[in-house]
Structure formats: structure tokens, C-alpha cells
């Protein structure tokens, strides 16, 4: 019985921490519709280009704040910190944005 209980707990933990905690998957789910799949932005949706020199110069803390509290242009419209995205997930998103920026060099 104890083994079955542990198996259920492990399976539940894996289901919760799998794709949802992956930076690329989070970006695709939460960000790509406005910022573009590659971070190039979508002007029609007011999604800023994450590949500009200005965006690349922002510190990780500044990017994390923009994700968690919303960008200044949107007045906090996508404040994911208030919409259930954890601090760890924000860090994953920042890491993925940095990967996109590195690929765009």
C-alpha cells in the first residue's frame, strides 16, 4: 500500500513539474502570441521585440520585473506574478528569453 501511495505522489509531482516548468513551454504558452515565437515581437499586438539591443541590455532582474509586474507600456496588463506564475517560472522565462537573444546574434 505504501509503495502504491508513493508511486501516485511521484507521478503527480512529475505531471506538475514537467512541461509547465520548462522555460520554452512557458514562453510558448504565455508570451509567444505577442512577442513572437523567436522573440521578434508582433507590433499589431503591441508585443515588444525582445531581440533589440535595448532588450538585451536589460538586466535579468529588469526582465523578471517586467514579466512578473507587466511591462511599462502595458501598465501591468500581463503581470504574471499576479496570475499564478511563480517566481521560479519567471526565472525560467528570463532564461529562455536570454536563449532567444543569444540565437539572434
Q: What is the pLDDT of residues 6-17, one digit of tens each?
A: 444 554 444 444
Q: Quick check: 19 pLDDT over 90?
A: no
Taking Cα atoms as reference points, which of 76, 53, 50 lies closest to residue 63? 50
Cα–Cα separations (whole angstroms), residue 43 to 30, 49, 80, 83, 91: 17, 8, 21, 24, 25
Distance, CA of 13 to chain centre: 20
- What cell numbers appear for 64 in the block? 523578471
Domains of the chain: 22-103 (1.10.760.10)
- What cell numbers appear for 24 in the block? 520554452
CA torsion 52-54-59-65 (nearest 10°) is -90
Helix/strand/coil (H/E/C) assignment for every residue in 28-87: HHHCHHHHCCCCCCEHHHCECCCCCHHHHHCCHHHHHHHHHHCCHHHCCCCCHHHCCCCH
State the pLDDT at residue 82: 67
Quick: pLDDT tens for 25-78.
Answer: 999 998 898 899 999 988 776 678 999 999 999 999 999 998 888 766 655 566
When comparing pLDDT for 69 and 81, which is higher?
69
pTM: 0.73
Q: Quick check: 23 pLDDT over 90?
A: yes
Amino acid at each position: 500500500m505504501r509503495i502504491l501511495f508513493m508511486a501516485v505522489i511521484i507521478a503527480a509531482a512529475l505531471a506538475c513539474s514537467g512541461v509547465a516548468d520548462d522555460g520554452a513551454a512557458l514562453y510558448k504558452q504565455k508570451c509567444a502570441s505577442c512577442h513572437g515565437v523567436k522573440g521578434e515581437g508582433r507590433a499589431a499586438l503591441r508585443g515588444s521585440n525582445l531581440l533589440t539591443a535595448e532588450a538585451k541590455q536589460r538586466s535579468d532582474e529588469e526582465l523578471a520585473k517586467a514579466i512578473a509586474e507587466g511591462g511599462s507600456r502595458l501598465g501591468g496588463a500581463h503581470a504574471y506574478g499576479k496570475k499564478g506564475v511563480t517566481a521560479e517560472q519567471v526565472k525560467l522565462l528570463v532564461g529562455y528569453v536570454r536563449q532567444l537573444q543569444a540565437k539572434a546574434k
